[in-house]
Amino acid sequence: MRFWRFGSLVSILFALFFASHASATTLETVQNRGLLRCGVVNSGVGLSEIDLQGHWQGFFPDFCRFMAAAILGNADAVEYVEVNYVTRFDALNADAFDVLMANTTWTAGRDIDLKLAFTHPLFYDGQGFLAHRSVDVNSVKDLVGDKTYSVCVSDGTTTIENLRDLVATNNLNLKIITFQSVEGVYDAFFARVCDLMTQDRVALVSQRLNRAADPTSFILFPDIISKEPLGPVIRENDPQWYDIVQWTIYATMMAEEFGITQDNVDTFLESPEPEVQRLLGVLPDIGNSLGLPTDWAFQGLKQVGSYGEIYDRTLGKNSSMGLERGLNALWSDGGLLYTPPLR
């Protein structure tokens, strides 16, 4: 009987050992599936939305497409999984998708307590306020006094925590109305349930453009009450996958630094610049180290484009949003986009 127990224990240990070693990495899973599963939030025009043909469009979906092109050679090999601000982290940890690509703020608590890994931000933003012009307030300082103003905000987010901090430190007379989804916030605000709503400023601009019959009927406060570094999130404990997500982001930014675009990327294959050769796979070291094809970045750039191209067509000068680059410009242009050396 003792031997049977020992033998059973050994068998179990061997089974657990081989099962743990046989489990596929995220990269292997994506490659075997032939699809990148990308978690997205319907944040509105420019950011992330479904068009009339049922296709996801916008800044964040374009980075899903870049990743798919880099990993699988096909920018269209993406399965989009829609989540909201309440369910996104649980869904990621439950393996509902491979990467969360949305306007999600990197914070210490989320990084540490939720066992998630945040890569380099894709977009630097700040929390702001949008108000009905008829309320006759133009900035946060106008909210001080005896009159009470109502503000719509999504629960369970950094947005509401920032709002509570602002109220507590500035003695604002605000009635906070919470909703379980950001869609509920938007619907309520534009239905005039509340005087103001608060969210990332880029989302406020998007919603004013997307939902308002007359965008001039709303005031975007100049105040920025928080730092909101927004970008991809993955599960912890997969360093290879982290590196892949991280360096595909850097590849888009590095390409813009060198002036590489969808239209001219082929000409850069003849570049004598070693950094460009490593980026485009002429020197194959980086792709090999990541476990990707040697032309991983070339495929992403050829099929989707550089960071500047993605920004301009979804949020910037070639889009309906028309947002200036600001903090999201290259470091050489006064922004925060700065990539490590590719060597």
Choose one of 226, 241, 276: the last residue of a domain: 226
Same domain, residue pair 219 and 258:
no
Q: Do 284 and 136 reside in the same domain of the chain?
A: no
220 and 142 share one domain:
yes
* Vertex 146 angle, CA 140 and 152, to 5°: 50
In a domain, 88, yes or no: yes
pLDDT-derived band at 57 (thresholds 50, 70, 90) equals very high
pLDDT (mean) for 284-305: 96
114 and 202 belong to one structural domain: no
Q: Where a domain ends, among 226, 245, 270?
A: 226
The predicted model scores a pTM of 0.88
19 in a structural domain: no
- Whether 14 is in a domain gets the answer no
Same domain, residue pair 92 and 206 = no
Q: Which domain holds residue 158?
A: 127-226
pLDDT digits over 62-98, tens only?
Answer: 999 999 999 999 999 999 999 988 899 999 999 999 9
Q: What is the pLDDT of residues 128-177, one digit of tens each?
A: 999 999 999 999 999 998 899 999 999 888 899 999 999 999 989 899 99
Confidence of residue 23 (pLDDT cuts 50, 70, 90): low
Of 195, 210, 226, the position where a domain reaches its end is 226
The reply to whether 235 and 308 lie within a common domain is yes
Answer yes or no: are the C-beta atoms of 201 and 220 closer than 8 Å.
Answer: yes
- 119, 338, 100, 330: which is closest to 244 by C-alpha? 119
Q: What CA dihedral angle connects 323, 326, 328 and 334, to 10 degrees?
A: 150
* One domain, residues 183 and 311: no
| Tokens found for residue 65 | 């497409």
Here the CATH number for the domain that contains residue 58 is 3.40.190.10
Same domain, 249 and 312: yes
Spatial distance between the Cα atoms of 212 and 190, rounded to a whole number of angstroms: 7
Q: What is the pLDDT of residue 183?
A: 86
Q: Is residue 204 part of a domain?
A: yes
Q: Which residues contact 45 (CB under 8 A, 6 or more apart)?
A: 58, 206, 209, 210, 320, 321
Instruction: Please give the tally of structural domains in the chain.
Output: 2
Q: Is 9 a domain residue?
A: no
CB 209 within 8 A of CB 321: yes
Q: Which pLDDT band, with edges at 50, 70 and 90, does 180 fall under?
A: confident
Residues 159 and 305 in one domain: no
CB 127 within 8 A of CB 57: no
Question: Could you tell me if 288 and 145 lie in one domain?
Answer: no
Residues 327 and 210 in one domain: no
In a domain, 1, yes or no: no
Tell me whether residue 6 is in a domain: no
Same domain, 276 and 300: yes
Inside any domain, residue 339? no
